Amino acid sequence: DIQMTQSPSSLSASVGDRVTITCRPSQTINSFLHWYQQIPGKAPKLLIWRASRLQSGVPSRFSGSGSGTEFTLTITSLQPEDFATYFCQQTYNTPFTFGPGTKVD
Amino acid sequence: EVQLLESGGGLVQPGGSLRLSCAASGFLFGSCAMNWVRQAPGKGLEWVAIINGRGQTTYYADSVQGRFTISRDNSKNTLYLQLNSLSAEDTAVYYCAKSDMGLYGDPIDFWGQGTLVAVSS
């Protein structure tokens, strides 16, 4: 199985900050890496798909990059509604594992 | 508008069974792979299973293989998850989740609101 790690596990930030989260799969997954945002009590929401493609309706302050075994999610100017937990997921091979999450507070 | 409405969750005793359903609307159901993803209280997301659009191909997480069965009825636009031999470790919110298209490479582009399964005596 492909193991996913995320760093940091949590971070403290302020409105307007630039935030970067890293996801590292245990083996290469091409670009089959996706990012989700989850606000407490809500279902997750797709932000970035296939490493760098912005999902329709997602603000452009979110961006993704990377390939192979290192990927990053960047929020260029953190907004109040962005305080949430962020998960990466690989769909290169089953089981389609998620990272453990990064809480931004 | 895409809608996924889960039902069937509840309290069940260890060793018991439950069947979850997910009623889908707003998209071409039979053209999309569908997933179940769960989240234990206060924990992260755990992918559980996926089924292709025609219902011919399924994959499972190691933790549920042999105990859970994913299926679909495209005539009813409904996804199912049969949960057997339940233990406390299966306590979680279970999300029905739509893949963008196929089995591999695509993200989950829409999630239901989830149904809670609690396993306790």
Query: pLDDT by residue (tens digit) across A28-75?
Result: 999 999 999 999 999 999 999 999 999 999 999 999 999 989 999 999
pLDDT digits (tens, 9 = 90+) for B20-68: 999 999 999 999 999 999 999 999 999 999 999 999 999 999 999 999 9
Report chain A residues whose CB lies below 8 A from the CB of B113: 43
Do the Cβ atoms of B46 and A98 come closer than 8 Å?
yes
Instruction: Note if the bond before B107 is cis, omega within 30 degrees.
Output: no
The arithmetic mean of pLDDT across residues A88-93, rounded, is 97
Report chain B residues whose CB lies below 8 A from the CB of A34: 107-108
pLDDT digits (tens, 9 = 90+) for B56-110: 999 999 999 999 999 999 999 999 999 999 999 999 999 999 998 888 889 999 9
- Which residue from A minimizes the CA distance to B46? A98
Report chain A residues whose CB lies below 8 A from the CB of B60: 95
How confident is the prediction for chain B on average, in pLDDT?
97
Of B44, B50, B108, the CB nearest to A100: B44
- How many A×B Cβ pairs under 8 Å? 63
In this prediction, residue B103 carries a pLDDT of 80
Q: Is B97 exposed, middle or buried (0-12, 13-18, 19+ CB in 10 A)?
A: buried
Do the Cβ atoms of A6 and A101 come closer than 8 Å?
yes
**Chain B within 8 Å of A91 (Cβ-Cβ)?**
yes
In this prediction, residue B102 carries a pLDDT of 80
In this prediction, residue B51 carries a pLDDT of 97
SS3 B58: strand
In this prediction, residue A82 carries a pLDDT of 97
**Chain B within 8 Å of A86 (Cβ-Cβ)?**
no
**Chain B within 8 Å of A92 (Cβ-Cβ)?**
yes
Sign of the CA dihedral running B84, B90, B96, B100: negative
Query: How are beta strands B10-12 and B115-119 bridged, if at all?
Result: parallel
In this prediction, residue B3 carries a pLDDT of 97
How confident is the prediction for chain A on average, in pLDDT?
97
Q: Which two tokens stand for residue A37?
A: 């945002």
**Chain B within 8 Å of A90 (Cβ-Cβ)?**
no
Interface of B with A (CB under 8 A): 35, 37, 44-47, 50, 59-62, 95, 100, 104-114
SS3 B31: helix
